[in-house]
Amino acid sequence: MRRRQFLLSSALAAAAVHCPRPLLALPPDHRYMQRLGLQLYTVRNELAADRDATLKKIAEIGYKQVELVETVGAQEVAKAAKDQGLAVTSAFFDWKAVVAPDTPGAAKIEEVIEAAQQIGLKYLVFGYIGPGHRDSADDYRRAADAANAVGERIHQAGMQLCYHNHAFEFEPLENDTMGFDLLVKGFDPKLIKFEIDVFWTAVGGWKPVEILKRLDGAVSQLHLKDVKPGAGTVFDESKVSETTFQEVGDGSIDFAELLQVAERIGVEQCHVEQDHSLSPLESIAQSYAFLRDLQL
Q: What is the pLDDT of residues 147-204, one digit of tens each?
A: 999 999 999 999 999 999 999 999 999 888 999 999 999 999 999 999 999 999 999 9
Looking at residue 260, what is its pLDDT?
95
Q: Report the alpha-carbon distance of residue 144 to residue 2 in Å, rounded.
A: 24
Using a pLDDT cut of 90, give the percent of the chain over it.
88
Whether the model pTM is above 0.75:
yes
Is residue 129 classed as helix, strand or coil in its secondary structure?
coil
Report yes or no: 195 and 164 within 8 Å, Cβ to Cβ.
Answer: yes
Residue 8, exposed/middle/buried by CB under 10 A (0-12, 13-18, 19+)?
middle
Looking at residue 73, what is its pLDDT?
97
| Nearest in space to 147 (alpha carbons), one of 216, 100, 81, 205 | 100
Would you say residue 15 has pLDDT above 90?
Answer: no
Q: What angle do CA 53, 56, 61 make, to 5 degrees?
A: 125
Please compute the mean of the pLDDT values over residues 62-76 and round it to a whole number: 98
Q: Report the alpha-carbon distance of residue 221 to residue 188 in Å, rounded.
A: 17
Report yes or no: 154 and 123 within 8 Å, Cβ to Cβ.
Answer: no
| Nearest in space to 169 (alpha carbons), one of 151, 150, 195, 149 | 195
Q: Which stretches does DSSP call E strand in 80-230? A: 87-92, 123-126, 160-164, 192-197, 219-224, 226-227
Would you say residue 4 has pLDDT above 90?
Answer: no
Looking at residue 27, what is its pLDDT?
66
Looking at residue 5, what is its pLDDT?
40
| Nearest in space to 4 (alpha carbons), one of 216, 178, 127, 148 | 178
pLDDT tens-digit map of 196-231: 999 999 999 999 999 999 999 999 999 999 999 999
pLDDT tens-digit map of 77-87: 999 999 999 99
Report yes or no: 1 and 206 within 8 Å, Cβ to Cβ.
Answer: yes
pLDDT, the chain, mean? 92
Would you say residue 40 has pLDDT above 70?
Answer: yes
Q: What angle do CA 199, 91, 50 make, to 5 degrees?
A: 90
Looking at residue 25, what is its pLDDT?
57
pLDDT tens-digit map of 108-117: 999 999 999 9
Question: What angle, 0 to 180 degrees and rounded to 10, lies between the N-to-C axes of helices 51-61 and 280-293?
Answer: 20
Please compute the mean of the pLDDT values over residues 55-81 and round it to a whole number: 98
Report yes or no: 169 and 179 within 8 Å, Cβ to Cβ.
Answer: yes
CA distances from 181 to 101, 135, 177, 229, 287 (A): 24, 14, 7, 26, 31
Query: Sorting pLDDT into bands at 50, 70 and 90, what band is 22?
Result: very low
Looking at residue 127, what is its pLDDT?
96
Q: What angle do CA 178, 95, 83 make, to 5 degrees?
A: 125
Which domains, ranges and CATH numbers included, belong to the chain?
A: 30-293 (3.20.20.150)
Using a pLDDT cut of 70, give the percent of the chain over it.
91
DSSP label at residue 20: P
pLDDT tens-digit map of 233-267: 999 999 999 999 999 999 999 999 999 999 999 99
